[in-house]
Amino acid sequence: MAGFVDATKVAARPDGVAFDAQLDAQWTVGGRPNGGYLTAILARAAISSLDAHTHPHPLVANTHFVATPAAGPATVVTEVMRSGRTVSQVRARLEQDGRHCAESLFTLGRLDPAAEPYWTAEPPVDVAAEEECVLMPVEPPGTDLHIDMLEVVEQRLDPAGRQDGSGELRGWARFADGMAPDPVSLLFVADFFPPATLTINPSGWVPTLELTVYVRAVPAPGALRVRQRARLVEAGLVDEVCDVWDSRGRLVAQATQLASIRFRT
């Protein structure tokens, strides 16, 4: 059972452009690697492609998912588009067996752990206490899915938001091995919660087509407070927004995504 750091590590090849990765079966949904997990692997390679890790934190990640890779060996190819003083931009492409599977464009920088918000319009959302929320099992009832990643990350959903037609889920995320969240892991957490459309109508797999994540701060240790909202379901597509707060109540990540959806009825 690989922890997040080991499951997302990459090894540079001599050219410094290509990296070897091992997609871990533990970080999958129905046997398919989670999109945020893949984005985190791409981020590791993008950060490593810069000299001396000058910009160790992803500030923006924009990922397009082209084909679903399988667990196993994969290659990440990077292109440094700009190496700047404050931020750098790097493109990273995930390939497996000659297939182009995903591509991310990153803006990388260095977050100040001591930074505090100057102003915010997003106070922490109200969520029931962790012990009052429902710990989601590896095989959630009514989903026909085996979600291996729920063995390594605890997902607790506020029971007040289930099947209420709101298009919104709230809850908590915590790494089961006690790992404190870091900026790279926020790329995963921002795509970790179930689709909020489950509160409207159950569906099968909801594959992400595009995912954009803003990482706003270095998270404090402890559980992460998450709100996942669907905004529009139309023509077989849904767009969702995810907000993540750390244990201090700071907004540390924001994400939007567009996904395909097919309701069962």
Domains and CATH numbers, the chain: 4-109 (2.40.160.210), 130-260 (2.40.160.210)
Residue 68 CA to residue 50 CA, distance in Å, equals: 27
At residue 1 the predicted structure's pLDDT band, cuts being 50, 70 and 90, is low
Residue 101 CA to residue 262 CA, distance in Å, equals: 22
Tokens of 118: 């100057």
Residue 90 CA to residue 46 CA, distance in Å, equals: 6
pLDDT digits (tens, 9 = 90+) for 32-70: 999 999 999 999 999 999 986 789 999 999 999 999 999
Cα angle: 215, vertex 226, 88; to 5 degrees: 10
Where does the chain show beta strands of DSSP type E?
10-12, 18-23, 28-29, 32-33, 57-65, 72-83, 88-96, 99-109, 134-135, 153-157, 168-175, 208-215, 224-234, 237-245, 251-260
What is the DSSP code (8-state) at residue 150? G
Determine the average pLDDT of the residues in 157-184.
Answer: 90
What local confidence, expressed as pLDDT, does residue 162 receive? 60
Cα atoms in the 13 Å half-sphere on the side-chain side of 2: 15
Residue 37 CA to residue 40 CA, distance in Å, equals: 5
What local confidence, expressed as pLDDT, does residue 102 receive? 98
At residue 34, the 3 state secondary structure works out as coil
pLDDT digits (tens, 9 = 90+) for 175-210: 999 999 999 999 999 999 999 988 888 776 789 999
Determine the average pLDDT of the residues in 235-251.
Answer: 96
At residue 165 the predicted structure's pLDDT band, cuts being 50, 70 and 90, is confident
